[in-house]
Amino acid sequence: MISVKKLVKRFGLKTVLRGMDFEVKPGEFVALLGPNGAGKTTFLRILASLSRPSLGEVTIAGFKLPNEAAQVRARLGVVSHLPLLYGDLTAEENLRFYARMYGITKDQLRITEVLEMVGLEFRRRDLVRTYSRGMQQRLAIGRAVLHDPEIMLFDEPYTGLDQDACAMLDDVLKTVAAQGRTVVMTSHDLARAEELATRFDILSRGVIAASATRRQVKKSNLLEFYKQALAG
């Protein structure tokens, strides 16, 4: 589903990704772990075609970046720690706007479906500005699944959420994953990743330093595994 070969990303003289290889199979839920500044966000932005690779090959759902970026974007849903929503529009208006950008017809049905999924049907006519951080994040997920993407990218979706909001987000994420999507989620919070992911990849010094499936890493061992990978 996602295939990355020898990916290099430089910002000026600074090299963030150094020949990174990364593969994801359909239906996998990969947690991309790593300390702050490891390049997780940078990597997801490249997958999302928001940022260009300096070197290397990226293929997503059979389409090559950057030349076939529009086809890739049509199959991709992205949630970052920013909501990507307009505060002066209602939830419904935000979704209607994005539905038009994605060329969704009969959008009213789909918008209702999505609002119900993220549990915001009852606030659909309220301005997003008045939403709590957790509600905004849920709507952001609704925005990302609007066009029913095969692949979802989550960049630290739990940032800035309280306990209740985290629990609700857990449910939404599980729903999203259960719908058969391929998911890549970055996190520096091991416990959250442990709950959801089927595979754990650790990004360190610009490459995937270690990778293990859920079965290979028993619950108590994720922290140990993570530390070992970073120690390298």
Interacting residues with Mg ion (CB under 5 A):
41
Is 10 near other proteins (CB under 8 A)? no
Look at the chain and count its residues: 232
- Residue 37 touches which of other proteins, Mg ion, ligand ADP, none (Cβ within 5-8 Å per kind): ligand ADP
Interior CA angle at 48 toward 41 and 180, to 5°? 100
The H or E element containing residue 108 is: helix 107-117
226 token code pair? 């993570």
Q: How far is the CB of 158 from ligand ADP (least distance, A)?
A: 14
Which amino acid is it at 119? G
Burial 199-222 (b: 16+ CB within 10 A, else e): bbbbbbebbbbbbbebeebeeeeb
Which amino acid is it at 113? E
Is 15 near ligand ADP (CB under 6 A)? no
- Residue 167 touches which of other proteins, ligand ADP, Mg ion, none (Cβ within 5-8 Å per kind): none
Kindly list the residues in this chain that would bind other proteins in the complex (CB under 8 A). Answer: 1, 11, 25-28, 45, 48-52, 70-71, 73-74, 76, 78, 80, 82-89, 93, 97-98, 100-107, 109-110, 113, 127, 143, 147-148, 150, 179-182
Note the residues at the interface with ligand ADP (CB under 6 A).
Answer: 11, 14, 16, 34, 36-42
